[in-house]
Chains A and B, each alone.
Chain A
Amino acid sequence: EAQVTQNPRYLITVTGKKLTVTCSQNMNHEYMSWYRQDPGLGLRQIYYSMNVEVTDKGDVPEGYKVSRKEKRNFPLILESPSPNQTSLYFCASSSPGRGDYGYTFGSGTRLTVV
């Protein structure tokens, strides 16, 4: 089954404790993105990657890091999480070769930073 897999689904952590949210896709998509969803703000792009070793900032990159060492994986790293990073996070992938059919999303990660 074609899918984007995010882990964990839920995470509660303390301020300053480094964490990684993993994302993997099995569709051989070139493009991958991370979004955060907050009430009243919709989804905002954090980082995106157009291929292996090619990443760029989205609209809200502060406090986050990403890497794209393999085509299928695109982890999101919070080096020193703060309470304002409490949010619902989505990983998504897409392929321009398919006429831009939009993103396939993961199931989301609910992160709480206390």
Chain B
Amino acid sequence: AQTVTQSQPEMSVQEAETVTLSCTYDTSENNYYLFWYKQPPSRQMILVIRQEAYKQQNATENRFSVNFQKAAKSFSLKISDSQLGDTAMYFCACGATNKLIFGTGTLLAVQP
């Protein structure tokens, strides 16, 4: 069975600073994808970044980047130059198109 673990229920960061959210996963699949989703207070689920497991290069999207360690089954999210609009719940997810397994989420608060 696949599992996704986010060990930080809540985190806080000052505006303009950098923060890293942790995620570990376990899967028996050979072909899988990893995602970070953002859920602001509006509760909309927004895709932040995705990583193809067969690619070694870490994905980057503007201020968001990942540190993908396949052997360690680790997939952390780094947010640089944090902004107030980054305040949200962040979910890590692992799987394929018909089934994504989500972690329990990390609530990130960006302080002014």
Instruction: Using CB atoms and an 8 Å cutoff, list the residues of chain A in contact with chain B.
Output: 31, 33, 35, 40-45, 48, 50, 58, 88, 90, 92, 94-96, 99-103, 105, 107-108
Contact = CB atoms under 8 A, between A and B. Distances in A.
B96 A100 contact: yes
Interface string B78-112: 00000000000001010011111111110000000
Interface of B: 4, 6, 33, 35, 37, 43-45, 47, 50, 52, 91, 93, 96-105
Nearest to A92: B45
27 contacts: A33-B99, A42-B91, A43-B102, A44-B102, A45-B100, A48-B99, A90-B45, A92-B45, A95-B97, A96-B96, A99-B52, A100-B50, A100-B52, A100-B97, A101-B47, A102-B33, A102-B35, A102-B37, A102-B47, A102-B50, A102-B93, A102-B100, A103-B47, A103-B100, A107-B44, A108-B43, A108-B45
